[in-house]
Structure formats: C-alpha cells, structure tokens
Amino acid sequence: MSQRHAKTAMYEQFARAGKALSSPKRLELLDLLAQGERTVESLASSAGLGLSTASQHLQALKDSGLVRARRDGTFMRYRLAGDDVARLFALLRTVATTHLADAERAAAEYLGVAEADGDPVERQELLRRARAGDVVVLDVRPAVEFEAGHIPGALSIPLGELEQCLHDLPEDVEVVAYCRGAYCVLASDAVRLLASTGRRARRLDEGMLEWRLAGLPVEVSVA
C-alpha cells in the first residue's frame, strides 16, 4: 500500500467517528449516556424514539467505537466507551455554539437567556458547602440517572415529582439544584418552582456531565 493510500485509509477510519456524530438523535443519546449506563428501553423513552430506531442509532455509535454494550439478562445496556467520548461531546457543543451563530441562537432559545434563577453556584463552592452540611443538594434528573451516578449526599427528586414532594425539603436551608449539564433546563425549572414557594434556591453552574469531567466525586446507588 502506498503512503497516500495508507493516509487515506487512516482518515477514513477517523471519519467513522465523525459520521456517528452527524445525527442529532445520536448526539442526544450520547448526552444521556454521559449520565451513566442505560438500557435500550430507557434510552428510547428518554430520547422520544421507538425501540428499533434507538437500537439502530446505538448500533451505529457502537460500530464507531463511541459506546460499549453488554447483555444484562434480557436487556442490553449501553455506556460511553470512555471519558474521552464525554469530553468530545462537550467540546462539540462548545465549538458549535462558539462558531455557529445558528447553534448559539438555538441554544439560547432552548435554555432561555433571561431566566431569573439567580447566580449559579460554582462546583467547588457546592462541594465545600455540601461537606459542611449548610446546603441541600437536589438532583432533579430522572431516578435512573441519579442511580447511575450523582453528587455525594444529593437528594433525588425528579422534576416531575418536585411539586408534590416539597415537604421533603427544609424551608430554612438553601437548595442547590442540578441536572445533566450546561444544556439541560431541568435545574432552572426546579429553581423557579422552588422560588415560587418562597424557598431559597439556586442551580449548580453547568451540571453532572461537567462535574464528572472535572474529576469531582461521584456516588453510585447500589440496588
């Protein structure tokens, strides 16, 4: 094989990973898998996909080397192939919103540029305050994501259950809510709900994806 053919073959293999990232739904699946290992059924439900369509997207991600799969009884469970995949996904979002005006506008429209949810709490501040016990750390992601990995000491109340579970939160301690990451609105929605009841509440700056990538402690629920 000539050097030119060898170089072309190399770039063709690089392109396999890039091709897998070309689907919006596959990117959404990577976002979900950045929270932890999930079954196909769970991923399909969260991403609004049919089971067969989700399986096809996951197979494409697996073929590209971005995810791994294992059988658990009658279920297939998927996870990211490594933390480098999570970093790649996070960097792709940053590059898109930095250099594509349409991406920046779309993100701003989804997240809301004028949300009145107060100044976010930095990761190190939250870690310090959580260890001191002077704040309630609230995970508002779905329970399956909490179980796969969460901030140590966090209380799990999915956003859809928060209004009915307000009695589980003390009224005299500040609540810091967090969700999946910088491009997730669950924590902001939770903060607005809590504030409407008179509670002191802020959100964590960014979320669980960035917490993991920063190498901060993560706790896994044991069934």
Q: Which CATH number characterizes residue 28's domain?
A: 1.10.10.10
Q: Where does a domain end: 86, 107, 128?
A: 86
Considering the domain architecture, whether residues 129 and 209 belong to the same structural domain is answered as yes
Q: Which helix (H) or strand (E) holds 123?
A: helix 123-132
The answer to whether the CB of 26 falls within 8 A of the CB of 49 is no
223 within some domain: no
* Co-location of 82 and 164 in the same domain: no
Nearest to 67 by CA among 12, 20, 24, 22: 20
25 falls within a domain: yes
Residue 205 and residue 122 share a domain: yes
Domain range for 31:
3-86
Residue 78 lies in a domain: yes
* pTM summary value: 0.91
Examine the domain organization and report whether 69 and 15 are in the same domain: yes
Give residue for tokens 């959580």.
130
Instruction: Give the CATH number, domain containing residue 127.
Output: 3.40.250.10
Tell me which H or E stretch contains 53.
helix 51-63
Active site residues: 179
Residue 125 lies in a domain: yes
Q: Are residues 52 and 128 in the same domain?
A: no
Does 175 lie in the same domain as 137?
A: yes
Q: What is the pLDDT of residue 116?
A: 52
- The whole-number pLDDT of residue 114 equals 46
Both 77 and 10 in a single domain?
A: yes
The answer to whether position 71 is within a domain reads yes
Give the end of a domain, one of 86, 107, 130. Answer: 86
Tokens 């739904």 belong to residue: 25
pLDDT tens series, the chain, 223 aa: 799 999 999 999 999 999 999 999 999 999 999 999 999 999 999 999 999 999 999 999 999 999 999 999 999 999 999 999 999 999 999 999 999 999 999 999 999 854 556 689 999 999 999 989 899 999 999 999 999 999 999 999 999 999 999 999 988 899 999 999 999 999 999 999 999 999 999 999 999 999 999 999 999 986 5
- Within-domain flag for 92: no
Q: If you write DSSP's letter for every residue of 15-67 in order, what string do you get?
A: HHHHHHTT-HHHHHHHHHHTT--EEHHHHHHHHT--HHHHHHHHHHHHHTTSE
Are residues 194 and 131 part of one domain?
Answer: yes
Residue 118's φ and ψ, nearest 5 degrees, are 75, 175
Q: How many domains does the chain have?
A: 2
54 neighbors 38 (Cβ within 8 angstroms): no
Does residue 119 sit in the same domain as residue 209?
Answer: yes
